[in-house]
Structure 1
Amino acid sequence: MNVLYSLIGVEGLDLLAQNEIFTNTLNFALINNDDNYSIDEPMLNRFCNDILPRIQYTVRCLVLETITTMDRILRAGVYPNLTQLKIFKFQANVFSHFCTDELLFRHHFKKQITDLTLVNNSRHEIGTIDQMTNVYLKLLDFFENLNYLNCIETFIHGNPILSFINLPSTAFISSNLTKLCITVDNFGDCLCLLDGRLNQLSTFIIIIVNVKDNSSMEFNSNDLPNLKYFSLKFKSLTNEYDNQVVPLLHRMYNLQDLTLYIQIKERNRLVDGIQLENDILIHLSKLQRFVFYICTFTSVNHPVTLLSNDDIQRTFSNVKFGQIGCSMNYIDESDIRYHVFSLPFIFDCIGYIGNSFTNTIFNNVTFLCIYDGIPFEHEFFVRLARCFPLLKSLFIINWKAQSRDSPESEHDNTNGSFEVVQYIHLTSLHLPRTHIDYINQMLNESKTRLPCLTELWIHYDQLKTVTNNFTRDATRLNCINVKELHSDCPINHDDNSDDDSIKAQSKDFHLYFPLLKL
């Protein structure tokens, strides 16, 4: 389509291009994913003044940005067949204005739009919980025939967070909405949305951000016979599995597809195959697909019998589970994490795995936290890179020093005696609670290569030590592309200082991080 757009106005090819565009245009997209640049004004003028008026009758879907293009594009045509809107760089205050602009969202749009997706793919703040909730109330009121509302972009960053607990049951109500993808503040918001106000909902995908005690509140607990697909993901550790999640699933007796991502804290027994069968599957006779990741945290207050991976595997005898992966991470006698999950692993995030993690290939995981009570040796990081090939963000928590009697523990790998680890997609590295050995492990290019690292979280004193006051060549290459440096103390290098040593160190620092945004 870009090629065809470029041919409009070219003598001899204009008619051909127009005919092809008029006939086949279903989706028109004009977005810019780079926060540092705006869409070229002459190009935008050409689209709005020439191309869009010609293709407006065949456009079914518009993919736009809130600020830079949305206003111009929507005013450029009438789009009588438009049913889908996908809006990027979504911001609450801007969109709230659009919802009240009758010239922009014309009367026929109110009845036409059945499919709405909102994405915040920028790093800018999108609005407070109250602002966001207010926008979504307006959206559901404005678009009268909305069937599908999607406001989930990623499991990790920037999701629009909403809260419905303090709103009346007559708010955010629809008899048309059949599919909802949403991120809310806590589990009580999930229960609010399933209290009957969205009585035609058949697909419900929800992410819970925070954990709050809603036990004193009363929620409608009627059955949910229309729900066929349910996906529930918790970002935070929760203890709501037994008393909230399981009873909720019992209400969905016609469920055909279930996705569950949950990390359960302070439970006296791991959630294994037998418990999943007795607590959930036996109550969902129509279930055809069950995808899950469940991590059970135990503590000294809830002693458990130590189980091996084989012990856990044997509890998954039900054929509905399909292939299962499991891993037991033993931090110490008072801190054990049991991971059980369906394969292939579809989620983009997994946390608190240690040396004993399974050698499964996690092709979808981009965010990972590793934590153990025994050292992570070099070979562990080699295995990590192989099992998580698309890793973008890595947290390392380990206070135990690496072994000093292994060849990998040498300061540098100048003779190439062991394999250099390569994390070719890693952009964010978090080292706030870790032994200095792992800082050297990750930043020393003779051990690890991080060609795309742009964000680094680290203790400043440890950084100074590992980089030898920002003069060490072995760690320079892995730092040279860093644009954001987050530390435990303010970084203030004064080039104008009267102290020559401070001035020299400041110069070395800026040379070490030439792209840093100060």
Structure 2
Amino acid sequence: MINSCIGLNDLPDEILMIIFKKLNNIDILYSFYGANQRLNKIIHDPTFTSCLTFVEWSLDNFIDLLSCKTILNQFCFRILPEIHNKIKWLGLESSSMKHVLRAAHYPNLDSLGLYNIDEESIRCLFTDETLSSGIFKNQITTLVITINRNDDYFEMLSSVVNIYDYIFSVFTHLIVVALYESSYKDCVRLCFNDSLHPNIRSSTLLKLNIKVQCFNDCLYLLDGRFNQLHTFYVDLVRIRIPQEVENQGDLPNLKCFSLSSNYEIYDYDELVLPLLNRMSNLEQLGLYLLVYVNETFIDGNHLKKKIINGMPRLNQFTFYIRSSMYTGKAKESQCHIYSYPPLMEYYGDITNDFPGGLFEYVRVVSLNDEHPFEHEFFLRIQKSFPFMEQLTVINHKPQNRKQSYESNIDNQNLSVIEYFFLNTLDIINTHDDYIEEFLFDTKTYFQNNVYLQIHYESLKRVTHNFTRDATRVNSTKINKLYVYGGSKCSNSLQEYFPYAKIFH
């Protein structure tokens, strides 16, 4: 450290600032705190002290940068008490958040990120009367949270609504609330009964970014409980007509609205359009929907007549709408329209006619065609959706050019497709050729921790009863395996997928 400090001291302050700005603030403070007077002065600059995030994203979760007791003590007993009045944002992991928040008084702290929280950790945090009656109640205006998932679906729903109930009970001056997940795989949703959770309301909230379970939940959140809300981003699973459709009043304060869902909507005219008609003062609108229609596709003319003309103040409209129509004899036609640049998270039912392009925001993709998908098609898909996390393939036609690849012993013409972000792969409804497409390491490269959904008998055939070497490498990349139609987990299956938790 002495030699490195001497080297750094030879550089002017301007150069040191340029170098330090490229590094993590936490590393800067921990490494150079107390090194010498000059470096101490530089690292006390607001550039390095106003915003401190003590977590980092790795694979599929947030890691606590204060998990080491030595680092935690250095910050809590020395660094934070000295820079406490300069801190405006803290990003904290659940296991260390209470230690950091109690380490000092933060008079200028107004924004908080709480990561990997669950109902128990948030309850323990809020039982601290000093924090609840001080920082939380009077100072925090921006709150970003990520909630830990668990495998029990109904327990998860109950836990999420209780967490929100705690939050709006304790944080009484919130302006911005965002449910943030770096991975689509980890998204959790709010589903609540209004009468059981009356605390989920705020007269100060202006911006809400949330994921909910159904359309009813969306209507609840727009029933006046957030009467100052001007920005509302909502992603939901089910858009179905509720038993009682209420809350039909105008929403004059709403200026920015985004609605997205990756599940088919059959009641678009009855639900979505009436909701949009309540937003006459809207200035920004985002729609990312999959809609079933009876007679005509949703096109630019529909958007103008049914939506845009009713919003005279609208100046920004981003959308991705895939409308589908049954044409008889089990046939289906579809139309994709989207604004540019494309900002949606979903892109569904892609066929061989897909022209390609770059869709950097898309995380969830589905492929469905009655004509075979060749290897080159999957290469085009990966290049078009480089950050794809979830992929579903539906195709029962064998590949036409499979034999030409197999005859090329060295696979000289075969490019290995690299899926760096893929964490969920659904190939239940596919021909065996597509299982080989993904499990052959000469065709596909996975990062670790992939959730594979597949039919048991197909998997057994392709892996030659769990003995085939050609599919063994990618099988070790699977950390969760759902086998459809399998009666029980055999020893050979578990051995072939050594790191996978297997479900039936």
TM-score scaled by structure 1? 0.82
Number of the residue aligned with 1:322? none
Q: 1:283 deviation in Å?
A: 0.7
Number of the residue aligned with 1:487? 483
> What SS does the aligned partner of 2:209 have?
strand
> Structure 1: which 5+ residue stretches go unaligned?
304-331, 495-504
Alignment of 1:401-440 (within 5 A): 401-403=398-400, 406=401, 410-411=405-406, 413-416=408-411, 418-425=413-420, 426-440=422-436
Moved more, 458-467 or 201-210: 458-467
Number of the residue aligned with 1:445? 441
| Preserved CA contact (<8 Å) 1:378 1:408 | no
Number of the residue aligned with 1:72? 99
Q: Does 1:213 align with 2:241?
A: yes
Q: Does 1:462 align with 2:472?
A: no
| Preserved CA contact (<8 Å) 2:84 2:106 | yes
CA distance in 2, matches of 1:33, 1:211: 32
> What SS does the aligned partner of 1:261 have?
strand
Change (3 A) 1:5 1:392: same
CA distance in 2, matches of 1:112, 1:234: 34
Number of the residue aligned with 2:347? 350
Number of the residue aligned with 1:95? 122
CA distance in 1, matches of 2:417, 2:411: 14
Q: 1:59 deviation in Å?
A: 0.7
Change (3 A) 1:160 1:402: closer
CA distance in 2, matches of 1:390, 1:412: 32
Number of the residue aligned with 1:252? 279
Number of the residue aligned with 1:263? 290
Alignment of 1:3-18 (within 5 A): 3-10=28-35, 13=36, 15-18=37-40
Alignment of 1:66-145 (within 5 A): 66=94, 68-120=95-147, 128-145=156-173
CA distance in 1, matches of 2:408, 2:150: 37
Q: Does 1:20 align with 2:42?
A: yes
Indicate which of 358, 372, 375 corresponds to 2:372. 375
Q: 1:100 deviation in Å?
A: 3.6
Task: Look up the equivalent residue of 2:42 and give its one-letter code.
Answer: E
Q: 1:224 deviation in Å?
A: 1.5
User: As a proportion of its length, which structure holds more strand?
Assistant: 2
Q: 1:61 deviation in Å?
A: 0.7
> What SS does the aligned partner of 1:157 have?
helix
Moved more, 255-264 or 388-397: 388-397
Change (3 A) 1:94 1:170: closer
| Preserved CA contact (<8 Å) 1:8 1:18 | yes
Change (3 A) 1:148 1:209: same
Change (3 A) 1:409 1:491: farther
Q: Does 1:239 align with 2:235?
A: no
Aligned length: 468
| Preserved CA contact (<8 Å) 2:241 2:267 | no
Change (3 A) 1:154 1:234: farther
Number of the residue aligned with 1:146? 174
CA distance in 2, matches of 1:477, 1:343: 39
Report percent identity of matched pairs.
Answer: 34
CA distance in 2, matches of 1:266, 1:152: 32
Number of the residue aligned with 2:334? 337
CA distance in 2, matches of 1:242, 1:155: 32
Change (3 A) 1:412 1:368: farther
Change (3 A) 1:370 1:91: same
Change (3 A) 1:295 1:514: same
User: As a proportion of its length, which structure holds more helix?
Assistant: 2
Number of the residue aligned with 1:195? 223
Task: Look up the equivalent residue of 1:387 and give its one-letter code.
Answer: S
Alignment of 1:491-510 (within 5 A): 492-494=489-491, 505=492, 510=495
Number of the residue aligned with 1:387? 384
Q: Does 1:226 align with 2:221?
A: no
Moved more, 83-92 or 461-470: 461-470
| Preserved CA contact (<8 Å) 1:145 1:176 | yes
Number of the residue aligned with 1:30? 54
Q: 1:352 deviation in Å?
A: 1.4
Task: Look up the equivalent residue of 1:135 and give its one-letter code.
Answer: I
> What SS does the aligned partner of 1:128 have?
helix
| Preserved CA contact (<8 Å) 1:175 1:200 | yes
CA distance in 2, matches of 1:255, 1:230: 7
| Preserved CA contact (<8 Å) 2:55 2:92 | yes
> Structure 2: which 5+ residue stretches go unaligned?
1-24
Q: 1:289 deviation in Å?
A: 1.0
Deviations 1:434-492 (A, max 9, x none): 11111112222333333556332222332232222344333233333322222122664
Q: 1:192 deviation in Å?
A: 1.9
CA distance in 1, matches of 2:402, 2:192: 57
| Preserved CA contact (<8 Å) 2:111 2:141 | yes
| Preserved CA contact (<8 Å) 1:71 1:104 | no
Q: 1:342 deviation in Å?
A: 1.3
Change (3 A) 1:71 1:155: closer
Q: 1:401 deviation in Å?
A: 2.0
CA distance in 2, matches of 1:120, 1:164: 16
Moved more, 244-253 or 358-367: 358-367
Q: 1:169 deviation in Å?
A: 10
| Preserved CA contact (<8 Å) 1:140 1:174 | yes
CA distance in 1, matches of 2:287, 2:62: 37
| Preserved CA contact (<8 Å) 2:405 2:411 | no
Change (3 A) 1:211 1:254: closer
Task: Look up the equivalent residue of 2:350 and give its one-letter code.
Answer: I
Deviations 1:164-190 (A, max 9, x none): 454389643322111111112211221
| Preserved CA contact (<8 Å) 2:63 2:93 | no
